[in-house]
């Protein structure tokens, strides 16, 4: 009976150790996901700002006709 109790106790200890490691790994992964989301939010804001600046600039002027160019000696 003491042998069975020892086996159960060692099994419980092993499960507790595994649980502790998994809990730590889960916390680390959660931190990584949080930091990634922060970075994504920042990049989305920067992209929106760039898109707004590009829209403010407007479309480029159409290419000029070479016939309308004044020669440099005039």
Residues 3-51 have pLDDT tens digits of 999 999 999 999 999 999 999 999 999 999 999 999 999 999 999 999 9
Question: Which structural domain, as residue segments, surrounds residue 35?
Answer: 13-55
* 50 found inside a domain: yes
More confident residue, 6 or 63: 6
Report the Cα 23 to chain-centroid distance in Å.
23
**Phi, psi (deg, nearest 5) at residue 13:** -65, -45
Mean of the pLDDT values across residues 59-64?
A: 70
* 64 found inside a domain: no
* 35 found inside a domain: yes
* 60 found inside a domain: no
What whole-number distance in Å separates Cα of residue 13 and Cα of residue 22?
A: 14
Domain count, the chain: 1
* 42 found inside a domain: yes
* 3 found inside a domain: no
What's the pLDDT score for residue 10? Answer: 96
DSSP H helices, the chain, are: 2-57
- Which of 1-8's residues contact partners 24+ apart within 8 Å by CB, and which partners? none
What's the pLDDT score for residue 2? Answer: 86
What whole-number distance in Å separates Cα of residue 60 and Cα of residue 37?
A: 35
């Amino acid at each position: 009976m003491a042998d069975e109790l020892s086996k159960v106790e060692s099994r419980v200890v092993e499960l507790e150790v595994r649980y502790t490691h998994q809990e730590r790994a889960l916390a680390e992964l959660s931190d990584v996901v949080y930091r990634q989301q922060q970075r994504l939010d920042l990049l989305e804001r920067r992209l929106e700002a760039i898109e707004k600046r590009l829209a403010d600039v407007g479309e480029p002027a159409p290419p000029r006709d070479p016939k309308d160019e004044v020669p440099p000696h005039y």
